[in-house]
Amino acid sequence: MNPLGPTVEESWQNLLAGKSGIRPIFIFEASTFPTTFAAQVPDFDLSPYVRDAAAFEQAGRNVRFAMAAARMAIEDAGFAAHTGPYGGVLPRMAGGFDPARFGIYLGSGEGIVDFITLVTAIANGTRADNTVSTVGFAETALRQCNAMRELEQEPNMPANHLACEYGLEGPAYSCLTACAASTQAIGEAADLIRLGRADLMLAGGTHSMIHPLGVTGFNLLTAISTEPKAEPWRASRPFDRGRAGFVLGEGSTMLVLEELEHARARGAKIWGEIAGYGSSADAYRMTDIHPEGRGPAASMQMALEKAGLRPEEIDYISAHGTGTTENDKVETLAVKLVFGEYACKVPISSVKSQLGHLIAAAGATELMTCILAIRDQIVPATMNLDDPDPLCDLDYVPNTPRKTPVEVCMSNSFGFGGQNDSLVVRRFVP
């Protein structure tokens, strides 16, 4: 569920066709903002994916995306739906099913703030001297704000909704490490299974920050692109000399992770194997990546070691590749630190050039493109890479997808605050 399509296949085919999900903002009136474009999910009907679509009227876009993506993932994993003991839709499988062994781990962020209502409350509580009357504000806020909508601002709401919808009683976690969140969620969910604490985990990410507060915040940080407004699909230019910031995106990607023998016992379709996971912190600054690339290099090195692989065994790297000046340059340096002479030989690309930056959902979405690259033996391109930065001198697969042997991939996610996470996924060979 992302700006290029509601399903995995539609999104993947649009990605390979070079299409862009970046267009003028239609979710709210943005003509007066410095940034007037984003990568938005087109309107979709939630009703095919949930028991009661009306129950989600007050939910944020992040929750609705998560519900749709989860239903598609669960059905793809071979689970039929039926009414469970709590009125939810409980997965069913041959030989019985223990809901306490099926958990959830989501990368997520805050839901949308009830922005307009709060502004109205402030306006109605403003005195003649332009100070805000706390009495007037409270009266307006209590009268106009919706209790459930306020609750939906909490970042753990998507996981809670999913647990209720499917009757999942296993571990339920929400990971809040910004741009690295869903990569970390998947890595830690796989570890929970390896530790024997669950048989299955619904893992991934969901997020939407395309609202007035989100766009304003990133404009103030000078992190998102403000041009070219006439051709918004060209605004995301990872590794290009003219890159000027990332483009906000939104969406959700969910995967069902399962212990191998558990999956074999029920004859599950296996897309791939999570072979390695690495995580580190820059311990440097809140918004700037460490200029020496130590944190990203550490997460990549750890993921390789956990997978028991050498750098030259990686066939493709899905870069974090945001299109910000420092991030792309430092990621290039970090890859060189880890991969040495092989760094210039491994294909690398950033799908953010077409999808935008899905923030907490970015890592899971990019991992899914790695899995599809293995399936179809093709790697997606870095679009809009017309004038490569001399400091970004690796093989960034400019503008055209490439047919190439792909068996093992690495996916990188580096978040605000210095959180770095890397995953290695490979073809499952029985």
Catalytic residue selected from 175, 179, 392, 409: 179
Q: How far is CA 387 from CA 19, 152, 254, 284, 382, in A?
A: 20, 43, 35, 30, 12
Catalytic residue check, 320: yes
Catalytic residue check, 82: no
Could you please report the per-residue DSSP string of 285-338? -SSS--TT-HHHHHHHHHHHHHHT--GGG--EEE------HHHHHHHHHHHHHH
Beta-strand (E) ranges in 25-150? 37-39, 80-83, 89-92, 102-107
Give the three-state DSSP class for 219. helix
Computed on alpha carbons and rounded to an integer, the radius of gyration of the chain in Å comes to 21
Nearest to 419 by CA among 107, 103, 191: 107
- Chain-centroid distance, C-alpha 48: 23
Contacts of 366 (CB under 8 A, 6+ apart): 183, 318, 351, 411, 413
Catalytic residue check, 344: no
Catalytic residue selected from 161, 207, 211, 320: 320
Sequence length of the chain is: 430
Catalytic residue selected from 161, 207, 290, 357: 357
Catalytic residues: 179, 320, 357
